[in-house]
Amino acid sequence: MSVPKKPGGKALEVLQNLPRITLANLRPEPGSKQREKKRGRGQHGGNRSGRGHKGERQRGTRPRLGFEGGQTPFYLVIPKYGYNEGHSRRPQYQPLSLKRLQYLIDLGRVDPTQPIDLTQLVNARGVTVQPLKRDYGVQLVDEGADIFAAKINIEVQRASEGAIAAIERNGGGFSSSPSRSSCAGSLSQRECCQGRIWSHITQIAENRGYLADPEKIRQARLALAQKYGYILPDISKDELYHMLSMRKDVRQIFFGLAPGWVVNMPEKKILKPTDEKLLKYYSS
Amino acid sequence: MAASFTLRGALLSVSRLRCRTPGPPAGAAGLRFVCNAGPEERRAGIIESTEEYRFVERLIPPSRVPAPPRHAGVTPSGWSPPADSPPPLPYVIRRSRMHNIPVYTDLTNGSRKMTLIRKVEGDIWALEKDVKEFLKEVTGKELPTQVNEVTMTLKVKGHFDGELKQWLTSKGF
């Protein structure tokens, strides 16, 4: 074999100096391929061919899987219960831990100086939402609540109490609202807002729902600060207060954009209608 | 990403919907907002603006991984940026395209644990020597390693991704 000139290049040197590799030159490493056992041939594969001695085993007439000789089998003794009934119709929320959110902010994929929304998280490839798999949005999980240190204005669909506490402890703003794009397919928006499915989330101050009473939200913030033992920072004195308190309108899907506007992407312009019939239609 | 949100598709479909201007003929049934004004009056009833276009730009997903902002030291999430100048060693371990250390764990056949170091450049045998010494201090055992010079990767038996990542960041890679 050729002698390598520099360390670390042995394999490439060998490849370059030896003749061309073809199927005729290749051979598996000795000991890597083991011969398979052929049944019905030779001293070890023959005789009963690995089937055992007489009975149902050798004759291949064993009963079905789960049969217990006539005793009521296990899978019939246990009564049915609807644990998984309707599982494919249950709403699912993709979890997002605070640790991952902090990682995304540190790497500059999510901008903490702008309100963080489901669209921002998906653009940053922080979460992957699959609406066809009954994903109704994102939920915040409080893994990493102790290392979380970012002041953000975030809007997700669900969050655990510890996650809300961690965000508010760092002086951020939190609100929860259903993702309007996901429920547009199944129900109309108005049914969504007033429906019983989300009323327990959107109107409750503990979840900082977008339909909840602002006074109750303020009290809930104080209660949460007392429960988790931190002083609630006053965000009205913050320089980013305007950004932190930006909330979407009830029917708005994207921040800063309203329905009925036409976007001219090549010329980077937005055309807004002024006819009052159109405006009435788009705000209905 | 095929099944995830396609915002651009939604935006374009919304704008295409609205773009279908309600024009005469009057036999266009089903249009709630047919306006019988002439085309000049319709065009005058539109305001153009460019200030809100930044909200549209925010919705477009970026196609490249953004460069991380400058940090002085370890970030709260545990990520630390690479050193400004590469350390004076005979090998270099590049960061992945998401700016992380390329050390990965592998589990095959249900119980075969391996740690893989990818994206090695330079003298891979020196790296193998250093890794063996470091893991000898950590575990006290001589661990089998495998060097692949063609793909420039190093495999170590056992799960040591946490220790190796910390060791490589302390070196400055």
Domain ranges of chain B: 91-171
**Homologous superfamily of domain range B91-171:** SUI1-like domain (3.30.780.10)
pLDDT tens-place string over residues A238-268: 888 888 888 888 888 898 898 889 999 999 9
Contacts of B6 in chain A (CB under 8 A): none
Across chain A, mean pLDDT equals 87
Q: What is the pLDDT of residue B44?
A: 65
A209 φ/ψ sector (left φ>0, alpha ψ -120 to 50, else beta) = beta
Closest-approach residue (CA) in chain B for A269:
B50
Tokens at residue A156, please? 């997700």
Closest-approach residue (CA) in chain A for B42:
A275
Q: What is the pLDDT of residue A164?
A: 94
Contacts of A8 in chain B (CB under 8 A): 122-125, 149
Q: What is the pLDDT of residue B83?
A: 93
pLDDT tens-place string over residues A109-124: 999 999 999 999 999 9
B148 beta partners: B153
In degrees rounded to 5, what are phi and psi of residue A258?
A: -120, 155
State the smallest CA–CA distance between residue B136 and chain A in angstroms: 23
* Strands B46-49, B91-93: pairing kind: unpaired
C-beta atoms of B33 and A278 within 8 A: yes
Instruction: Encode chain B (173 residues) as per-residue pLDDT tens digits.
Output: 444 444 444 444 444 444 444 444 444 444 454 445 445 445 567 888 888 899 999 999 999 999 999 998 899 999 999 999 999 999 999 999 999 999 999 999 999 999 999 999 999 999 999 999 999 999 999 999 999 998 999 999 999 999 999 999 999 99
* B148-153 own/partner pairs: CB under 8 Å, 24+ apart: B149/A8, B149/A9, B149/A10, B149/A11, B149/A12, B149/B124, B150/A11, B150/A12, B151/B118, B152/B118, B152/B119, B152/B120, B152/B121, B152/B124, B153/B116, B153/B117, B153/B118, B153/B120
Please tell me whether the interface predicted TM-score (ipTM) of this complex is above 0.85. no
Report, as an integer, the average pLDDT of A47-75. 95
Percent of residues, chain A, with pLDDT higher than 90? 63
How far is residue B50's CA from residue B54's CA, in Å, rounded to a whole number?
8
State the smallest CA–CA distance between residue A106 and chain B in angstroms: 7
Task: Give the range with max mean pLDDT: A64-78, A228-242, A250-264.
Answer: A64-78
Closest-approach residue (CA) in chain B for A143:
B77
C-beta atoms of A109 and B66 within 8 A: yes
Closest-approach residue (CA) in chain B for A150:
B76
* B26-30 own/partner pairs: CB under 8 Å, 24+ apart: none
Is residue A102 over pLDDT 90?
yes
Contacts of A119 in chain B (CB under 8 A): 5, 7, 58-59
C-beta atoms of A107 and B98 within 8 A: yes
Contacts of B55 in chain A (CB under 8 A): 254-257
pLDDT tens-place string over residues A194-217: 554 566 667 777 888 888 888 999
A67/A284: higher pLDDT: A67
Closest-approach residue (CA) in chain A for B127:
A8
Q: What is the pLDDT of residue A227?
A: 95
Contacts of A148 in chain B (CB under 8 A): 76
Is residue A223 over pLDDT 60?
yes
Helices of type H across A124-172: 161-169
C-beta atoms of A269 and B53 within 8 A: yes
Q: What is the pLDDT of residue A109?
A: 95
How far is residue A101's CA from residue A170's CA, in Å, rounded to a whole number?
14
Q: For the whole model, what pTM was predicted?
A: 0.78
State the smallest CA–CA distance between residue B139 and chain A in angstroms: 27
Is residue A36 over pLDDT 70?
yes
What is the DSSP code (8-state) at residue A202?
A: H
Q: What is the pLDDT of residue A21?
A: 83
A residues 203-262 lying closer than 8 A (beta carbon) to B:
254-257, 259-262
